[in-house]
Structure 1
Amino acid sequence: MTIEPDSPRVFRSVDAFADSVGEELGTSRWLTIDQKMVDDFADATRDHQWIHVDPVRAAAGRYGATIAHGYLTLSLLPSFGWQIYSVEGVDMGVNYGLDSVRFPSPVVVGSRIRATATLTDVQDTRAGKRFVVRFVVHVEGSNKPACVADTIRILVG
C-alpha cells in the first residue's frame, strides 16, 4: 500500500537532485477527474469531441461514460510533480519539453488518478543540468496506466 504524501520530497540542491538518478521520487495524491474539469479543458482547448463532453452519447459508447482528454491528463503532470518533489537552490527552471508521451488507457470521468515520478536521466548542458523525469499516471483499479511521459527540465542552481 502506497502512503499518500503530506509534502513533497525535498532535495536541498540541484546536485542532490542529480544524485537521485534512477530513483523513484514518490507518488502524488489521488485526484478525481470530474465532468466540470473535462468541460473546462474542452472550452480552453476548443476540443469538444462528444466522447469528452456528451455524457448521454458517451454512455452508449465504448467506455460507458465520457473520458478525459489525453492532454488534460498530461497537463496535470506539473501539479503532480509539485506534490511529489521539490528542488531548493534553483535560480531558474525551464520546461524543455517531452521525449515521449503515451496514453495506454482512458481516464473515465469519475475516476481517481495519481502519478509516480522517477528521475531517469541527468545531463550537464551549457544552460544548466537537464533532468528527465518519467511520470506514470495510474487510474485507481486499473492495471494499465493512463499516461506515461518523459518530461525534460533544465535547472540552474
Structure 2
Amino acid sequence: MSAMSDALAAAQDAIGTEIGLSDWITVDQTMIDAFAATTRDDQWIHIDEERASKTEFGGTIAHGFLTLSLASRFAYDALGTLPGQVMGVNYGMNKLRFVTPVKAGARMRGRFVLQGASARGPNQMLRETHLTIEIAECETPALVAEWLGLVIFAD
C-alpha cells in the first residue's frame, strides 16, 4: 500500500473523532494593529483603543479574518505531517461562522474534529475537519467552520 492509501484508511477510521488541539495564541493589540495595516482594514473597533473602550466590548476586538487566518497556525500545531506527506494545501471552507468577538489580549486555540476523508487522485487526500476556534475563559467559540484541506503525498 502507498502512504496515501494508508493515511486515507486511517483517516476514514478516525471520522467523528478529535484529531488535534493546538497551542494557545494570545491576540494582542500589536497583532491586531499589524493585521489592520496589512489588510488596510483600519475600522476603529479594531485599532482605536480609547473609542473602543466605550463600547459593549470594553476595548478593541480582533478582525474576524485575523481569527480565521490563525487557523493555519492552529492546524500546524495540532495536525502535524502525515507519513509520506510532502505538503498541505488550504482547499477552502464549506461553512464558516464568526460566533464571538475576540477581545484584544484574549487567548485562542484551534480544535479539530475529522468529518470526512476521500481520495483525490493517486497522491492526494481531501480532509474535511470541523474547526472550532476557542477563546480561553469563554463558553462560546470565536469561530466554527467546516474546513477542507488537501494533503499531498510523494508519488
TM-score by length of 2: 0.87
Q: Which residue of 2 aligns with 1:119?
A: 114
Deviations 1:68-104 (A, max 9, x none): 0000000001111111122221144322111111111
Q: Which residue of 2 aligns with 1:65?
A: 59
Using the alignment, how far apart are the partners of 1:76 and 1:121 within structure 2?
22
User: What residue ranges of structure 1 are gaps of 5+ in the alignment?
Assistant: 1-11
Divergent runs of 4+, >6 A: none
Greater percentage in helix: 2
Deviations 1:86-134 (A, max 9, x none): 2221144322111111111000001111111111111223372211111
Aligned residues: 146
User: What residue ranges of structure 2 are gaps of 5+ in the alignment?
Assistant: 1-5
Structure 2 residue corresponding to 1:33, chosen from 11, 27, 47: 27
> How far does residue 21 in structure 1 lie from its aligned partner after superposition?
1.7
Contact 1:35-1:109 at 8 Å conserved across structures: yes
Q: Percent identity?
A: 38
Amino acid at match of 1:100: K
RMSD: 1.7
1:135 aligns with 2:144: no
Contact 1:14-1:155 at 8 Å conserved across structures: no
Contact 1:14-1:90 at 8 Å conserved across structures: no
